[in-house]
Amino acid sequence: MVQLPQEFIASLEGLPGFDKEAFETVHQSGEQITSIRVNPRKKSEIRNLKSEITPVPWTQYGYYLSQRPSFTFDPLFHAGCYYVQEASSMFLEQALKQTVDLTKPIKALDMCAAPGGKSTHIQSLISPDSLLVSNEVIKARAGVLKQNIIKWGASNVIVTNNDPQHFNRLEGFFDVMVVDAPCSGSGLFRRDEEAIEEWSPDNVQLCCGRQRRILADALPALKQDGVLIYSTCSYSTEEDEEIMDWLVTEQGMENIALQVPAEWKIVTTTSKAGAEGYRFYPDKVKGEGFFLSCFRKKEGGERRYKMAKPDIATAKEKALLETYINLNQLEVLKQGDMLFALPKILIEAFLVIQANLYLQYAGTTLGEIMKNKLVPDHALAVSGMLLANITRFELSLEEAIRYLQRADLSIDPPVKGWQVVTYQNQVLGWINALPNRINNYYPKEMRILKQYYDSGN
Ligand SMILES: C[S@@+](CC[C@H](N)C(=O)[O-])C[C@H]1O[C@@H](n2cnc3c(N)ncnc32)[C@H](O)[C@@H]1O
């Protein structure tokens, strides 16, 4: 075990809730906590994870597992039935539920979204007629984010790949904004020794400067009375309490306090300017280090936004789709040859995003029309929107893993043609059963690269 830097420990002395001895002991214990958050769109049996499960107190969707299974070789993980996420960060649910009316249609922005933990959680909490814009500035990370959003299977999310300053084109557009900022990462020391080696006071300074820049760039895009949720996985006051003070004294934000039951053992911290935030210490809560605080924007403008011209699918194209999904609530748009669906109610907001930001993904990709037939897309398969009359072929665990490795399959489905394969009734993706072979359409970029015997199974 790498020792915690003395300079780091000294910088935490005197902070609310900091107990040096308990903190050092828990970091030396080697204890690893595993938690997952289930996808309410895909009800599956998490009991099959062969672990004892106990609920995470601050979320309706989170569970601790008594041991860490091989997620790579669990087909339900790839089907998007759950997301493996650190428990403390699921506290975001309390922040959203206590500050926003989630029954109403809202426009939410997750500014620093990859790999998608908070975004998939936000999607589970907002109403189906609400929009989530899930943004990530680093292109490669935006690709991973896109894959996780596709797996989650909702059509009310748009993934963008923009620098926060590009959001100044969307003044007053969002009702809610989550800034889960890049930080010095001390909250992850217990599970990530590299983070310990990378920690330095200089890096804390660098991070707090970057956090202010991200927030200053992002805030104009928040509506008057809109809610900002700011979080880090750092214990440093420069990145937590001092940011709260800067938000209330220099950025026109008003702090919102949350109700937090004492038995959750989350520490309330109050900044010099009187703002409240919430600190998670691993010696107190069953989770890693985390910080979160909520604010309301006191004043702000709105403006007319540039909008893209919609490229709507033709009636003929829509007719071909209707054998796959019910289009009642959806509009079908085109990007090149690709067709994708978005809730009708979100089209206007989508056109604004399309005109102002770099789109990585929007709604649900349905597929491409070739020779008057739909070549269906993976996103459609895992969207949960497929009609019941689409043929489903249930796979065994071994076959499901071969499918997810994009290997050849030795199965003999009774029906030929395009169909989805399932594991425990959860859709994994498409196959096309030809008379003499099976074509496996699991996306190459998502395939499992490890050999099954590597897992110790
Ligand atoms: C703490 S992580 C986000 C984790 C994510 N919210 C989740 O729950 O899965 C911070 C993210 O901010 C991104 N980032 C780094 N520098 C940034 C910058 N200057 N502006 C905006 N985002 C940045 C990182 O690439 C990273 O994906």
The Cα diameter of the chain in Å comes to: 73
Give residue limits of the domains in the chain: 6-29+86-297, 305-389
Residue 300 is labelled as binding a ligand = no
User: In this structure, what DSSP letter does residue 423 have?
Assistant: E
Q: Among all chains, which residue has been given the structure tokens 């989550």?
A: 178
> Minimal CA–CA distance to 56: which of 84, 19, 88?
88
Domain 6-29+86-297 class in CATH: alpha beta
pLDDT tens readout for residues 229-269: 999 999 999 999 999 999 999 999 999 999 999 999 999 99
CATH topology of domain 305-389: Nuclear Transport Factor 2; Chain: A, (3.10.450)
For residues 15-23, average pLDDT: 97
Atom of ligand 1 at shortest range from CA of 115: 9
Distance of CA 112 from the midpoint of ligand 1 (Å): 4
> Minimal CA–CA distance to 364: which of 128, 76, 104, 135?
128
Distance of CA 142 from the midpoint of ligand 1 (Å): 10
Question: What Cα–Cα distance (Å) separates residue 187 from each residue in 8, 128, 219?
Answer: 12, 33, 25
Residue 112 is labelled as binding a ligand = yes
For residues 190-215, average pLDDT: 96
For residues 409-432, average pLDDT: 96
Atom of ligand 1 at shortest range from CA of 114: 27
Q: At what angle do helices 241-250 and 201-218 cross, to 10 degrees?
A: 30
- Confidence band, pLDDT 50/70/90 cuts, at residue 453: low
Residue 118 is labelled as binding a ligand = yes
Nearest 10 degrees: CA dihedral of 70, 72, 73, 78? 130
Atom of ligand 1 at shortest range from CA of 180: 6
Instruction: Find the catalytic residue in 183, 207, 208, 233.
Output: 233
Give the sign of the dihedral formed by CA 288, CA 66, CA 92, CA 277.
Answer: negative
User: Quick check: ipTM above 0.95?
Assistant: yes
Distance of CA 147 from the midpoint of ligand 1 (Å): 16
Residue 180 is labelled as binding a ligand = yes
Distance of CA 347 from the midpoint of ligand 1 (Å): 27
Is 81 an annotated catalytic residue? Answer: no
pLDDT at 457 over 70: no
pLDDT tens readout for residues 258-275: 999 999 999 999 999 999
> Minimal CA–CA distance to 356: which of 158, 211, 184?
158
Q: Report the nearest-CA residue for atom 15 of ligand 1.
A: 182
Distance of CA 45 from the midpoint of ligand 1 (Å): 32
Q: Report the nearest-CA residue for atom 25 of ligand 1.
A: 138
Residue 104 is labelled as binding a ligand = no
pLDDT (0 to 100) of residue 2: 67
Q: What length is written for the chain?
A: 457
> Which protein residues touch ligand 1 with a CB less than 6 Å away?
112-118, 136-138, 141, 164, 180, 182, 210, 214
